[in-house]
Amino acid sequence: MHDTGRQYPVTLTDDQWRERLTAAEYQVLRKGGTERAFTGEYWDDHTEGVYACRACDAVLFRSAEKFDSHCGWPSFWAPMAGDRVEYIEDTTLGMRRVEVRCAACGSHLGHVFEGEGYDTPTDQRFCINSISIRREATDS
């Protein structure tokens, strides 16, 4: 994962993150890994609620902005607010992408893509690892 040098509101030591997260969560959230497509618990989930960062519980996305992209990961066309996530240029694996991180703790969430032609209100697909988020029910 790229070090931005930024101070986050939620800051823990590497050992504290390892204690808080499972090994798989740590690999994705703190080391920038990716879960395999079609394996996460939310890729095909249509339950209403909000999605919070699994590392720090900051609320990031809503089910109202979730859509079926058929890519194997949960997809959202926008975060709850622009300041809930941060964007980092990612040139790993020989391609240019934009990494999405939690703005509260700096944990890796996934990537955002543009220009794919989805019928959504924005031209963006936030491709988020299920293991990076936790769905919470909202009051109806």
**Of 53, 56, 102, 127, which is the active-site residue?**
127
CA distance 102 to 121: 22
CA distance 26 to 17: 7
Distance separating alpha carbons of residues 55 and 97, to the nearest angstrom: 23
Concerning whether 127 is annotated as a catalytic residue, the answer is: yes
Pinpoint the alpha helices (H) of the chain: 14-20, 23-29
28: exposed, middle or buried (Cβ count in 10 Å: 0-12, 13-18, 19+): buried
φ and ψ of 102, to 5 deg: -70, 130
| Catalytic residue list | 127
